[in-house]
């Protein structure tokens, strides 16, 4: 194992406290810190030290793919790390968005010469585990519930949307299309009418909260079609391909396939491509988006997901115990969330404090984590 230096992304919705506090830096930070990337995606690759010089993990993988990744991983994913580990810290809502599946990403990347929608030829399923209470919108809820929620606002212009939702799941596509294609000149009036309605309850609170930042965005109404969830620390949400979602507030550890393909539909000043989003969305009801942790060993839990690109484990080590031994396939990325931990893969040992990370190659043996504290371990999901 060796120390890994992550890269911070300064998106406007980021927190000025969460990542800085995790890493033990002064707060508030100079600007918003939205995500800490701990991987080899070319958009912001982490680095390791080589004789006092930071070297991109991406470059190391390309130079020695078999050493870093192992023959099996190279055969399945090529000379690249198939997962990306992040710390995500949101102080304001992220965009309504979805990600393509593997075939859509491959075809879209090949056809998208300007890279406006498909910067990678890879899919981007993702799992987010809450570190703090975390608020999110994820997956379509029962259309009958959405129809009742929107009808309660009593806005005549929304009656076609309500009618589409009352059809059931088969009407979801039309409801979303109507809202995201709302005439530009009428959007502010639509949101104003929703806010003016004398309606109480969680749906009204959600719409009013989103309208503070986006007073002319029909995404304020689209949000009412989705599950609105609050995660407790340790709970997770699983975002498969085609799933419409938006993270609203909170801090979490996120693991995903190593891709940055995002198709946005609203609640953002960034580019929105309604036609392409509608093409990749899966218009089906998500029964329960929350994934509870599953114990796999003393002090070790995971959140099972149906992909081979990644797996995530949380390890809690108590003082005076032998620690945890994880026979996980390499390479491994380890993030220390709290305490002081010694991480050994049989090739090298590193000591990590809060906010520090380490990476080990496929040449390493079982991972042994000792000391006292909490860590998140990212690996591929091949078995």
Binding residues for Zn(2+): 97, 99, 126, 245
109: helix, coil or strand?
helix
- Burial of residue 230 (number of CB atoms within 10 Å: 0-12, 13-18, 19+): middle
Which residues are registered as beta bridge partners of 256? 84, 126
Active site residues: 264
Helices (H) and strands (E) counted in the chain, each on its own, are 12, 22
User: What letter would DSSP give residue 347?
Assistant: S
Cis preceding linkage at 331, omega within 30: yes
Per the CB < 8 A criterion, the answer to whether 343 and 352 are in contact is yes
Task: Tell me the C-alpha distance between 51 and 93, whole Å.
Answer: 41
| Side-chain half-sphere exposure of 342, counting CA atoms within 13 A | 10
Known binding site: residues?
97, 99, 126, 245
Cis preceding linkage at 194, omega within 30: no
Report the b/e string of 291-318 with b at 16+ CB within 10 A.
bebeeeeebbbbbebebbbbbbbbbbbe
**Of 155, 316, 320, nearest in space to 224 by CA:** 155
């Amino acid at each position: 194992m060796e120390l890994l230096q992550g890269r911070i992304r300064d998106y406007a919705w980021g927190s000025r406290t969460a990542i800085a506090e995790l890493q033990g830096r002064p707060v508030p930070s100079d600007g918003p810190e939205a995500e800490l990337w701990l991987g080899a995606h070319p958009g912001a690759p982490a680095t390791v030290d080589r004789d006092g010089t930071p070297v991109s993990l991406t470059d190391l993988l390309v130079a020695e793919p078999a050493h870093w990744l192992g023959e099996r991983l190279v055969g399945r994913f090529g000379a690249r790390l198939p997962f990306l580990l992040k710390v995500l810290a949101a102080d304001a809502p992220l965009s309504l968005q979805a990600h393509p599946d593997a075939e859509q990403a491959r075809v879209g990347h090949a056809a998208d010469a300007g890279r406006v929608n498909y910067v990678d030829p890879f899919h981007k399923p993702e799992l987010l585990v809450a570190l703090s209470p975390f608020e999110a919108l994820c997956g379509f809820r029962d259309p009958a519930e959405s129809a009742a929620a929107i009808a309660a606002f009593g806005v005549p212009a929304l009656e076609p949307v309500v009618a589409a939702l009352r059809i059931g799941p088969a009407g979801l596509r039309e409801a979303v299309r109507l809202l995201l294609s709302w005439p530009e000149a009428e959007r502010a009036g639509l949101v104003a009418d929703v806010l003016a309605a004398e309606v109480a309850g969680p749906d009204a609170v959600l719409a009013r909260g989103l309208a503070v930042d986006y007073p002319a965005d029909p995404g304020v109404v689209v949000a009412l079609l989705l599950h609105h969830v609050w995660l407790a620390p340790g709970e997770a949400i699983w975002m498969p391909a085609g799933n419409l979602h938006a993270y609203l507030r909170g801090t979490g550890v996120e693991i995903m396939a190593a891709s940055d393909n995002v198709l946005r539909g609203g609640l953002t000043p960034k580019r929105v491509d309604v036609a392409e989003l509608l093409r990749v969305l899966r218009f089906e009801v998500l029964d329960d988006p929350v994934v509870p942790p599953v114990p796999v060993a003393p002090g070790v839990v995971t959140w099972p997901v149906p992909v081979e690109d990644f797996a995530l484990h949380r390890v809690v080590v108590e003082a005076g115990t032998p620690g945890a031994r994880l026979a996980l396939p390499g390479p491994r990325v380890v993030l220390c969330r709290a305490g002081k931990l010694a991480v050994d893969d049989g090739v090298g040992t590193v000591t990590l404090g809060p906010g520090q990370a380490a990476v080990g190659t496929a040449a390493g043996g079982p991972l042994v984590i000792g000391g006292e504290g909490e860590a998140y371990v990212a690996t591929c999901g091949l078995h």
